[in-house]
């Protein structure tokens, strides 16, 4: 379209005023950028087109010497600001398509002589101006060269303009483009979300720009380092509201092309990256507060959700968490408002768009009557995570995606601190051990793992970028930063962090910039000593993959470290400049008394203080403050096992969980015997705390996955029944026969474990209990007698032990649910049925967006695959539909890799290994996108599982049998 939406005279004048005022600023910014930006190294294959329609592949031969064939932008141009106008249509056009139109003007400065303008553009129809895709003009005294040719490159997602002469270094120019795009339901860029309100379909225009989707909304320099100021105008229906990163400064009603519209203008943003932009048009309503330093805080959601008070908890915790971060960072919140919105369709859990954070409904909304304790914790921690990014990630931003771990790992660590401040009775900081440290140990112990910080040339195309949003970046990043904070002390860590944020505000960094400021904090703290610099210590944790197992011999005092691998026979192809040795900070205790922290700086060392005998014992890595596993000599293991069995409370809750997790994983790596690991669970009949039980159940779940198709399962089931029965009775007693709720936050979680495992292991009275609750609900659907904490477990068992009547009832309740977390519980429980025909029907539902939302497809297929009966059905479904599933969900979804890892967890036979390899071979032409690494890891895990089952099956059968007879 050639139409320009002239909204007001002030907008045009504003462009010139901003252009003039920006010139001085951009000179300094562009010089800084030119110094810090590395040259392109990616060499993808691409095609080009000079069509003005949607770009299509060309047969032009590929030559890697051309700059538009590289995924990284050239360093020639630096943007200063954009003027962007968008008009999303919330009703389909005559072709049945939802579209948006718009125009953008980007002012950029030339910092290196060039006759090319290369800017990102993807899936946009660009208006033709005199045979070209854009207009170019000069600012000030600069004269813009004429455009010789323009074309689109599909592979690298570029618009390229070849000029008749070179741009002048130091001069500034404006590139004007008009465009049209589809407001699709693909959850990427500017997209469409739908929901039904009282039988009426409602449409929301919303966005997800991270990591590479801003270019799908308007042409832009779409890399994190290309920060700019954005002036946003949104045209929309008068019965809707428009939201963006900045606060609304003007709304005007007008008529454009015969359509009555409202034009909303937003204040200019701070200097920011394109991936943090957000645009929303909706009929949602909000609740708000300005109690925190007069800052406007708003929670947006569907009107019914707000009317049902589902946004109240989010509003109440946002203020305290912001207050905590301002003190922690020693920096005020940098924006004029904080909007948070719950969307019906959203691929990630949440997204930290600066000033307008987007969430799944289940991540922001909490109903005080219907929601569970776990839902409340999820809301608090996710809000805490996203608000942490307002400074770390948004104010100061990574230079390139290879350092994503610093952004996400940091937020994944401090989210516990922010949530703890808001909810101090939860003791939530302890849970990082379960949710992050133990979780990532399982992935980072593979030979196919990768370092936290990868080389820039390893992360180029959008699929490689999406692949970085993984457990290593989030959870290992959190674990390693927590370790750093522990050995520096929290005050020193916070001091260095504050210096870093204030120094690099509104700029980009690499991870070593943080090390610089932490080192300064160390040097400026009297009495603070560490054995090496922060750089030297942390490089070993960030530039090489994996982690060590530290072995302590308490008979001799010798200490050794070795790269821990789940499969000790696997081959590590990735070289390490540090030869897989680490500088390891070891906090430890002797017979219950904390000792001075010890640093293991070599592969082997001697510490005579760790030499003990008799009744004395050593426990290292207290409270799991370090990112490593610990092994001991046989005598010390026996002393620790004895302590667990006689007086387990002499060890902290975290260290009880640690002993279990370390032992099971050391056994899988053939470092200790499997029976020794199993013995760490014998004391559980006396354990009532959640974290040790959860640690044990996760590790025993591996045994269930490996043996639930064999004769071992009967003996395993009998042992677990014996161990869980006392916990089941404990909660039956303290809840007065299930009529009360346990007082403690984690006690409520352990009650769920008690009922869930007891029912699965056929503890007397459990199945009858859950079936009766479910039947009561079926008899009176408007009065659910099941406590919100227990709904997920009860729903699952009610459906598992029922038939089509129970399934159909749950499906109706799912479709009618008005609270996202309730719908999520039901959606998960529907996968618990054991009827193959119902499961196959449910699998078909997953790829029908009228039945299962696209955002939920991957997790629903995973849920179906979790049960031994259901796994082959899900695996066959995935193989048969791979092409479709990959095209629909595999190119930009950060969670896509979970599909492969989730479906192959149980693989432990040669036949399954061959199927997995054949699946890889058969789909090489289709591709695996962000699941590429997950597929390699699935093959590696399957090989390790086969070896482990072969070597341990007889021993495990014998041990379980002896313990239950």
DSSP-assigned letter for residue 392:
B
7: left (phi over 0), alpha (psi -120 to 50) or beta: alpha
How far, in Å, CA of 461 to CA of 155, rounded?
A: 9
Which tokens sit at 668?
A: 């899988």
Q: Which residue carries 């969670």 as its tokens?
A: 895
929: left (phi over 0), alpha (psi -120 to 50) or beta: left
3-state secondary structure 298-357: EEEECHHHHHCCCCHHHHHHHHHHHHHHHHHHCCCCCCCEEEEEEECCCCCCEECCCCEE
Contact 183, 125 (CB under 8 A): no
Q: Which of 386, 408, 456, 687 is catalytic?
A: 386
Beta strands 241-244 and 279-282, pairing class: antiparallel
List, in order, residues 6 or more apart from 529 with CB less than 8 Å away.
none
Which tokens sit at 940?
A: 């590696």
Length reported for the chain: 965
DSSP one-letter string for 854-900: GGGHHHHHHHHHTSTTTHHHHHHHHHHHHHHHHHHHTTT-TTTHHHH
3-state SS assignment for residue 564: coil
C-alpha distance from residue 759 to each of 145, 158, 677, 728, 764 (Å): 75, 56, 25, 10, 8
Which tokens sit at 886?
A: 């990959």
Contact 300, 285 (CB under 8 A): yes
Contact 831, 866 (CB under 8 A): yes
C-alpha distance from residue 413 to each of 419, 436, 513, 624, 718 (Å): 11, 9, 19, 14, 39
How far, in Å, CA of 304 to CA of 311, rounded?
A: 11
List, in order, residues 6 or more apart from 58 with CB less than 8 Å away.
47, 48, 49, 154
Q: What is the tally of helices (H) and strands (E) in the chain?
A: 30, 32
Contact 706, 945 (CB under 8 A): yes
Contact 220, 106 (CB under 8 A): yes
Q: Which residue carries 């390693």 as its tokens?
A: 480
> Is residue 305 reached through a cis peptide bond, with omega within 30 degrees of 0 on the bond before it?
no
Which tokens sit at 403?
A: 């350092």
Beta strands 158-167 and 147-153, pairing class: antiparallel
Reply yes or no on whether 178 is catalytic: no
Q: What residue ranges in 699-762 does DSSP mark as E strands?
A: none
List, in order, residues 6 or more apart from 39 with CB less than 8 Å away.
72, 75
List, in order, residues 6 or more apart from 707 with CB less than 8 Å away.
713, 716, 949, 953, 956
C-alpha distance from residue 407 to each of 139, 395, 539, 604, 813 (Å): 36, 11, 17, 34, 39
| Helix pair 910-922, 932-963: axis angle to 10 deg | 170
In this structure, what are the phi and psi dihedrals at residue 436, rounded to the nearest 5 degrees?
Answer: -125, -55
How far, in Å, CA of 385 to CA of 340, rounded?
A: 13
How many CB atoms sit inside 10 A of residue 613's CB?
Answer: 9
DSSP one-letter string for 541-556: HHSS-S-EEEEEETTT
Residues classed as catalytic:
386
């Amino acid at each position: 379209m050639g139409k320009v939406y002239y909204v007001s005279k002030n907008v045009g004048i504003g462009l010139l005023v901003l252009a003039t005022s920006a010139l001085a600023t951009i000179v300094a910014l562009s010089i800084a950028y030119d110094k810090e930006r590395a040259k392109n190294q990616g060499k993808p294959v691409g095609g080009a087109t000079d069509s003005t329609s949607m770009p299509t592949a060309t047969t032009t031969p590929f030559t890697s010497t051309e700059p538009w064939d590289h995924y990284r932008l050239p360093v020639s141009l630096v943007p200063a600001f954009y003027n962007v106008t968008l008009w999303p249509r919330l009703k389909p056009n005559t072709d049945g398509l939802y579209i948006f139109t718009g125009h953008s003007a980007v002012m950029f400065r030339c910092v290196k002589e060039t006759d090319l303008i290369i800017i990102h553009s993807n899936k946009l129809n660009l208006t033709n101006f005199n045979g070209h895709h854009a207009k170019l003009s000069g600012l000030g005294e600069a004269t813009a060269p004429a455009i010789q040719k323009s074309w689109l490159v599909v592979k690298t997602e570029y618009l390229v303009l070849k000029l008749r002469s070179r741009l002048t270094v130091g001069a500034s120019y404006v590139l004007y483009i008009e465009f049209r795009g589809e407001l699709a339901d693909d959850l990427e860029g500017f997209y469409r979300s739908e929901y039904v309100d009282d039988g009426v379909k409602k449409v929301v225009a919303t966005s997800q720009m991270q990591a590479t989707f801003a270019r799908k909304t308007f042409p832009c320099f779409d890399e994190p380092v290309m920060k700019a100021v954005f002036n946003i105008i949104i045209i929309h229906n008068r019965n809707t509201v428009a939201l963006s990163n900045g606060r609304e400064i003007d709304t005007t009603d007008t008529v454009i092309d015969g359509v009555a519209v409202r034009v909303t203008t937003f204040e200019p943003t701070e200097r920011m990256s394109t991936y943090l932009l957000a645009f929303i048009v909706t009929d949602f309503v909000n609740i708000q507060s300005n109690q925190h330093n007069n800052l406007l805080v708003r929670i947006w959601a569907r009107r019914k959700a707000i009317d049902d008070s589902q946004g109240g908890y989010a509003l109440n915790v946002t203020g305290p968490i912001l207050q905590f971060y301002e003190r922690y960072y020693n920096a005020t919140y940098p924006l004029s408002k904080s909007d948070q919105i719950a969307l019906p369709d959203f691929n990630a859990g949440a997204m930290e768009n600066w000033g307008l954070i987007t969430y799944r409904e289940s991540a922001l909304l909490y109903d005080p009557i219907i929601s569970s304790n776990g839902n409340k914790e999820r809301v608090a921690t996710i809000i805490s995570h996203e608000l942490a990014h307002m400074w770390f990630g948004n104010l100061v931003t990574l230079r390139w995606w290879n350092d994503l771990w610093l952004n996400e790992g940091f937020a994944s660590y401090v989210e516990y601190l922010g949530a703890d401040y808001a909810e101090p009775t939860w003791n939530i900081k302890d849970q990082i051990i379960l949710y992050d440290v133990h979780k990532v140990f399982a992935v980072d112990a593979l030979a196919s793992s990768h370092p936290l910080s990868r080389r820039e040339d390893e992360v180029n195309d959008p699929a490689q970028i999406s692949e970085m949003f993984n457990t290593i970046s989030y959870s290992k990043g959190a674990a390693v930063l927590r370790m750093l904070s522990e050995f520096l002390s929290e005050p020193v860590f916070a001091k260095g962090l504050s210096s870093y944020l204030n120094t690099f505000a509104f700029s980009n960094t690499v991870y070593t910039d943080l090390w610089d400021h932490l080192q300064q904090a160390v040097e400026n703290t009297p009495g603070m000593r560490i054995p090496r610099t922060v750089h030297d210590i942390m490089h070993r944790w960030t530039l090489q993959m994996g982690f060590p197992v530290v072995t302590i011999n308490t008979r001799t005092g010798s200490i050794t470290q070795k790269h821990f691998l789940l499969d000790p026979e696997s081959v590590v192809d990735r070289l390490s400049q540090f030869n897989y040795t680490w500088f390891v900070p070891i906090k430890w205790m002797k017979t219950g008394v904390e000792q001075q922290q010890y640093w293991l700086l070599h592969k082997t060392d001697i510490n005579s203080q760790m030499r003990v005998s008799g009744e004395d014992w050593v426990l290292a890595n207290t409270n799991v403050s370090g990112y490593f596993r610990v092994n001991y000599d046989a005598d010390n293991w026996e002393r620790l096992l004895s302590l667990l069995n006689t007086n387990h409370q002499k060890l902290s809750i975290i260290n009880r969980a640690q002993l279990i997790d370390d032992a099971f994983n050391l056994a899988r790596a053939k470092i200790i015997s499997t029976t020794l690991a199993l013995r760490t669970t014998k004391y559980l009949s006396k354990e009532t705390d959640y974290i040790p039980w959860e640690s044990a159940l996760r590790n025993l779940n591996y045994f269930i996955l490996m043996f639930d198709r064999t004769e071992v399962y009967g003996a395993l089931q009998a042992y677990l029944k014996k161990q869980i029965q006392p916990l089941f009775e404990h909660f039956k007693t303290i809840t007065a026969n299930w009529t009360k709720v346990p007082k403690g936050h984690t006690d409520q979680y352990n009650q769920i474990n008690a009922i869930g495992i007891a029912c699965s292991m056929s503890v007397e009275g459990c199945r009858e209990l859950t079936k009766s609750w479910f039947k009561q609900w079926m008899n009176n659907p408007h009065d659910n007698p099941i406590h919100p904490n227990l709904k997920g477990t009860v729903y699952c068992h009610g459906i598992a032990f029922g038939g089509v009547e129970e399934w159909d009832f749950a499906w109706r309740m799912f479709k009618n649910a008005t609270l996202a977390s309730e719908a999520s519980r039901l959606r998960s429980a529907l996968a618990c049925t054991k009827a193959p025909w119902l499961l196959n029907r449910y699998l078909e539902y997953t790829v029908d967006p009228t039945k299962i939302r696209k955002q939920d497809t991957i997790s629903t297929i995973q849920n179906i695959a979790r049960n031994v009966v259901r796994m082959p059905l899900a695996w066959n479904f995935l193989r048969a539909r791979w092409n479709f599933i990959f095209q629909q969900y595999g190119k930009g979804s950060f969670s896509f890799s979970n599909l492969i890892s989730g479906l192959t967890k149980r693989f432990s036979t040669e036949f399954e290994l061959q199927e997995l390899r054949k699946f890889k071979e058969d789909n090489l032409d289709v591709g695996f996108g962000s699941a590429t690494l997950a597929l390699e890891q699935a093959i590696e895990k399957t090989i390790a599982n086969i070896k482990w089952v072969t070597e341990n099956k007889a021993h495990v059968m014998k041990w379980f049998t002896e313990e239950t007879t």
